[in-house]
């Protein structure tokens, strides 16, 4: 009935899989289609193994009227399985209407470049209602959802690459939340020295650098599986292995918005932290953050409300939390990237680390305003007080 369901082994590990068949009534969901899918979800949850969905559906089947209401059962099962078993969705065709919501409720969504589409209402309906003219790719293609909406965490070149990414992603996760993640044999010495890290932080504090170069150097075999690389690029999330053990990495990217936290970055990181916590994956936070992004639009859009999600995620996480501040760590962004106050297990600061409420320039402007104004040489006085502040506070 427009869906193929079953179970098997992926690299020797059990998994349940369903694949919607667009050649049968457009892969639309009727009653039996929905019941087959829901039964797979229930069996996967009972067995305690991952479930993978290959989605290609036109949405609810109009010919059955209320028969498509089984969507609610599918969504209910998605939520009940959340944080209990890994749920991975691949959108491998066009998914319209209700067909989009089930993938959105799963842990990860992968889309295929140029062939995947996801939207609640199609271009024709949008034009009729709002007068906006848009094509399918711009409305709901992989590029749109991986850069603008944030629905899609990974983009595949083609269907084969999509399957390969699913297998790689699954390798970082246990079968369910009661198990530990799989540990793989590693040839990299965990005690190896990485001399390049001595020179990776620029002497000029205003210069950016590529945080990913640090992540890859400390990872086993220099392999970093990045999640949502094109969305909210000011924060980096993804998986590495250390000594063969999966580790979730959260890091600031100074090359984008100086690494400031904004609404999208906060939501992206918070969801990742909670996913790792649910599946017993330790967390490493690599910190170089000047603060939350200032601006009227950010405030009005809810940076306080959304920024708090990171605080909530770190505070409730019970997995090991290792924090590595390497340069700036200012203001409320310090606990947002986790800190000892947020019950981090260890904080390992680089010699280049600066941690304070604000930077030296801003602090001196407030603390020594009168002294600077009354000095014979205000510029020299400012530099003197700035150095005093740096020597006393801005070091680990």
Query: Active-site residue numbers?
Result: 97-98, 332-333
| Torsion angle in degrees (nearest 10) through CA of 186, 187, 192, 196 | -90
Strand, helix or coil for residue 345: coil
CB-based contact 155:110 (threshold 8 Å): yes
Q: DSSP assignment of 321-340, as one string?
A: EEEEEEEEEETTHHHHT--G
**Cα 329 from Cα 96, distance rounded (Å):** 43
**Burial letters 230-268, b for 16+ CB under 10 A, else e:** bbbbbbbbbbbbbeebbbbbbbbbbebbbbbbbbbbbbb
Give the residue among 103, 95, 20, 3 at the shortest CA–CA distance from 54.
Answer: 20
**Cα 321 from Cα 180, distance rounded (Å):** 16
CB-based contact 59:2 (threshold 8 Å): no
**Cα 318 from Cα 281, distance rounded (Å):** 10
Give the residue among 359, 226, 335 at the shortest CA–CA distance from 285.
Answer: 335
For residue 267, which phi and psi values (nearest 5 degrees)?
Answer: -65, -40
What's the sign of the alpha-carbon dihedral 262, 263, 266, 272?
negative
- The single-letter DSSP state of residue 141 is B
- CA Rg value for the chain: 24
- Give the number of residues written for the chain: 396
Give the residue among 283, 226, 281 at the shortest CA–CA distance from 249.
Answer: 283
Please classify residue 8 by burial: count the beta carbons closer than 10 Å to its beta carbon, then call 0-12 exposed, 13-18 middle and 19+ buried.
exposed
CB-based contact 18:3 (threshold 8 Å): yes
**Cα 8 from Cα 125, distance rounded (Å):** 40
CB-based contact 328:354 (threshold 8 Å): yes
């Amino acid at each position: 009935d427009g869906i193929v369901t079953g179970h098997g082994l992926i690299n020797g590990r059990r998994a349940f899989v369903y694949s919607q068949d667009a050649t049968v009534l457009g892969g639309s969901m009727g009653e039996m289609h929905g019941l087959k899918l829901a039964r797979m979800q229930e069996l996967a949850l009972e067995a305690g193994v991952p479930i993978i969905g290959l989605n290609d559906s036109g949405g609810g089947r109009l010919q059955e009227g209320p028969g498509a209401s089984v969507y609610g059962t599918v969504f209910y099962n998605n939520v009940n399985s959340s944080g209990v078993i890994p749920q991975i969705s691949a959108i491998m065709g066009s998914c319209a209407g209700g067909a989009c919501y089930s993938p959105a409720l799963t842990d990860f969504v992968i889309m295929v470049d140029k062939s995947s589409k996801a939207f609640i209402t199609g271009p024709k309906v949008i034009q009729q209602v709002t007068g906006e003219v848009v094509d399918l790719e711009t409305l709901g293609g992989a590029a749109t959802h991986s850069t603008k909406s944030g629905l899609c965490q990974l983009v595949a070149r083609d269907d084969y690459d999509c399957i390969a990414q699913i297998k790689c992603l699954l390798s970082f996760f246990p079968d369910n939340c009661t198990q530990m993640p799989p540990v793989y044999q590693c040839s990299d010495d965990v005690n190896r020295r990485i001399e390049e890290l001595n020179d990776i932080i620029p002497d000029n504090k205003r210069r950016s650098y590529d945080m990913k170069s640090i992540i890859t150097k400390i990872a086993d075999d220099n392999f970093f599986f990045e999640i949502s690389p094109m969305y909210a690029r000011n924060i980096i999330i993804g998986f590495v292995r250390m000594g063969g053990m999966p580790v979730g990495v959260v890091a600031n990217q100074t090359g984008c918005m100086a690494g400031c936290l904004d609404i999208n970055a906060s939501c992206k990181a918070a969801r990742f932290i909670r996913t790792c916590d649910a599946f017993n994956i330790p967390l490493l936070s690599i910190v170089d953050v000047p603060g939350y992004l200032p601006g009227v639009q950010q405030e009005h859009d809810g940076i306080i409300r959304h920024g708090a999600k990171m605080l909530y995620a770190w505070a409730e996480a019970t997995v090991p939390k290792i924090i590595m501040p390497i340069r700036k760590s200012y203001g409320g962004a310090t606990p947002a990237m986790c800190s000892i106050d947020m019950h981090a297990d260890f904080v390992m600061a680089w010699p280049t680390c600066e941690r304070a409420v604000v930077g030296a320039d801003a602090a001196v402007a407030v603390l020594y305003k009168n002294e600077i104004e009354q000095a014979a040489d205000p510029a020299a006085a400012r530099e003197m007080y700035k150095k005093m502040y740096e020597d006393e506070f801005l070091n680990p």
